[in-house]
Amino acid sequence: MTNWLTLKKSNCKNCYKCIRHCPVKAIRFSGNQAHIIGNECILCGQCFVVCPQNAKEITDSVEKCKVLLQGSDPVVVSLAPSFIANYEGVGIDSMREALRKLGFYDAEETAIGATIVKNEYERILREENRDILISSCCHSLNLLIQKYFPAELAYLADVASPMHAHCIDIRKRIPNAKTVFIGPCVAKKDEAEYYEDAADAVLTFEELTEWLKSENIELKKDIDVRRDSLARFFPTTGGILKTMEQGINGYTYMAIDGVENCIAALKDIESGRTHKCFIEMSVCSGSCIGGPVMEKYHRSPVRDFAAVAGYAGSDNFDVVQPDMNEIHKDFTFIEHKLPVPSDMEINEVLKKMGKTKPSDHLNCGSCGYNTCREKAIAICQGKAEYSMCLPFLKDRAEGFSDTIVKNTPNGLIVLNEDLEVQQVNDAARSIMNIRNASDVLGDQVIRILDPTDFVNVLAMGKNIRNKRVYLAEYNRYVEQTIVHEKNLHLLIGIMRDVTDEEEARERKENFSRQTAEVADKVVEKQMRIVQEIASLLGETAAETKIALSKLKGSISDE
What element of type H or E holds 463?
Answer: none
Between 183-187, 278-282, 462-466, 535-539, the lowest mean confidence (pLDDT) is in 535-539
554 part of a folded domain: no
The answer to whether the beta carbons of residues 443 and 432 sit under 8 Å apart is: no
400 part of a folded domain: yes
Considering the domain architecture, whether residues 121 and 187 belong to the same structural domain is answered as: yes
Helix, strand, or coil (residue 24): coil
What is the C-alpha to C-alpha distance for residues 63 and 211, in angstroms, rounded to an integer? 10
Q: Which range marks the domain in which residue 525 is found?
A: 498-541
Its pTM stands at 0.72
**What integer is the mean pLDDT of 136-158?**
96
Residue-wise burial string across 6-36, b where 16 or more C-beta atoms lie within 10 A, e elsewhere:
bbeeeebeeebbbbbbbbbbbbbbeeeebbb
Q: How many CB atoms lie within 10 A of CB 64?
A: 15
pLDDT over threshold 60, residue 1: no
CATH code where residue 369 lies: 1.10.15
548 part of a folded domain: no
What percentage of the chain carries pLDDT values higher than 70? 93
pLDDT of residue 395: 66
Between 69-78, 252-261, 295-304, 407-416, the lowest mean confidence (pLDDT) is in 295-304
pLDDT of residue 94: 96
pLDDT of residue 537: 74
Between 61-75, 361-375, 419-433, the lowest mean confidence (pLDDT) is in 361-375
pLDDT of residue 311: 95
Q: How many CB atoms lie within 10 A of CB 374?
A: 16
pLDDT over threshold 80, residue 389: no
pLDDT over threshold 70, residue 104: yes
What percentage of the chain carries pLDDT values higher than 90? 59
Give the N- to C-terminal CA distance of the chain in Å, as an integer. Answer: 145
pLDDT over threshold 90, residue 531: no
pLDDT of residue 298: 59
486 part of a folded domain: yes
481 part of a folded domain: yes
Considering the domain architecture, whether residues 100 and 231 belong to the same structural domain is answered as: yes
Considering the domain architecture, whether residues 352 and 220 belong to the same structural domain is answered as: no
Using one digit for the tens of pLDDT, what is the confidence trace for 315-343?
999 999 999 999 999 999 998 777 788 98
pLDDT of residue 10: 67
* Pairwise pLDDT comparison (67 vs 19), residue with the higher score: 67
Considering the domain architecture, whether residues 507 and 482 belong to the same structural domain is answered as: no
Considering the domain architecture, whether residues 141 and 246 belong to the same structural domain is answered as: yes
Mean pLDDT score of the chain = 89
Helix, strand, or coil (residue 494): strand
Between 94-98, 212-216, 457-461, the lowest mean confidence (pLDDT) is in 457-461
* Pairwise pLDDT comparison (548 vs 483), residue with the higher score: 483
Considering the domain architecture, whether residues 133 and 69 belong to the same structural domain is answered as: yes
Considering the domain architecture, whether residues 225 and 150 belong to the same structural domain is answered as: yes
506 part of a folded domain: yes
Considering the domain architecture, whether residues 484 and 512 belong to the same structural domain is answered as: no
pLDDT of residue 549: 67
217 part of a folded domain: yes
pLDDT over threshold 70, residue 174: yes
Considering the domain architecture, whether residues 271 and 343 belong to the same structural domain is answered as: no
pLDDT of residue 170: 97
**What integer is the mean pLDDT of 72-101?**
96
**What integer is the mean pLDDT of 501-520?**
83
pLDDT over threshold 60, residue 558: no
Residue 554's pLDDT band (boundaries 50, 70, 90)?
Answer: low
Between 196-200, 425-429, 432-436, 521-525, the lowest mean confidence (pLDDT) is in 521-525
pLDDT over threshold 90, residue 397: no
Using one digit for the tens of pLDDT, what is the confidence trace for 18-55?
888 899 999 888 777 888 888 899 999 998 888 888 88
329 part of a folded domain: no
Q: Which of 134, 90, 95 is nearest to 241 (CA)?
A: 134
pLDDT of residue 178: 97
Considering the domain architecture, whether residues 444 and 342 belong to the same structural domain is answered as: no
Considering the domain architecture, whether residues 223 and 90 belong to the same structural domain is answered as: yes
Considering the domain architecture, whether residues 232 and 132 belong to the same structural domain is answered as: yes
The answer to whether the beta carbons of residues 265 and 256 sit under 8 Å apart is: yes
Residue 4's pLDDT band (boundaries 50, 70, 90)?
Answer: confident
- The number of folded domains in the chain is 4
Contacts of 347 (CB under 8 A, 6+ apart): 376
- DSSP letters, 112-181, are HHHHHHHHHHHHHHHHS--SEEE----HHHHHHHHHH-GGGGGGB--B--HHHHHHHHHHHHSTT-EEEE
Using one digit for the tens of pLDDT, what is the confidence trace for 258-306?
999 999 999 999 999 899 999 999 999 999 999 888 755 656 889 999 9
* Pairwise pLDDT comparison (555 vs 430), residue with the higher score: 430
What is the C-alpha to C-alpha distance for residues 13 and 524, in angstroms, rounded to an integer? 79
pLDDT over threshold 60, residue 499: yes
pLDDT of residue 399: 63
pLDDT of residue 524: 82
